């Protein structure tokens, strides 16, 4: 069993305060969870930046790469109005 871990950082130009950021991150987290990936919000106090950490157990490196590609596509579709950075690794 291999663990796929990802860090997703979002920069929002007009988040609408902490509640606005929370709404964006909650929506994105729900979409990620539908793909059997566990997600936690590890954002700090700064309203314009959000960070999610995601993990999933996979059977192979190929499945881990596919999961990361799916996550990249999801971000491109649903977070395209924000600057985002996705870092992932297999352990």
CA separation for the pair 23, 2 (Å, rounded): 31
Domain residue extents for the chain: 2-90
36-69 pLDDT tens trace: 999 999 988 888 899 999 999 999 999 999 999 9
Residue 15 has pLDDT above 80, yes or no: no
Mean pLDDT of the chain: 91
pLDDT per residue as tens digits for the range 64-79? 999 999 999 999 998 8
Cα–Cα distance, 74 to 70 (Å, whole number): 6
Residue with tokens 């979409």: 31
Return the CATH fold of 2-90. Answer: Alpha-Beta Plaits (3.30.70)
CA–CA separation, 21 vs 70, rounded Å? 23
């Amino acid at each position: 069993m291999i663990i796929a871990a990802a860090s997703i950082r979002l920069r929002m130009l007009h988040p609408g305060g902490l509640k606005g950021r929370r709404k964006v991150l909650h929506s994105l987290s729900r979409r990620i969870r539908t793909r059997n990936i566990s997600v936690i919000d590890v954002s700090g106090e700064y309203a314009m930046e959000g960070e999610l950490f995601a993990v999933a157990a996979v059977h192979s490196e190929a499945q881990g790469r596919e999961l990361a590609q799916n996550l990249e596509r999801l971000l491109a579709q649903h977070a395209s109005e924000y600057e985002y950075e996705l870092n992932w690794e297999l352990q």
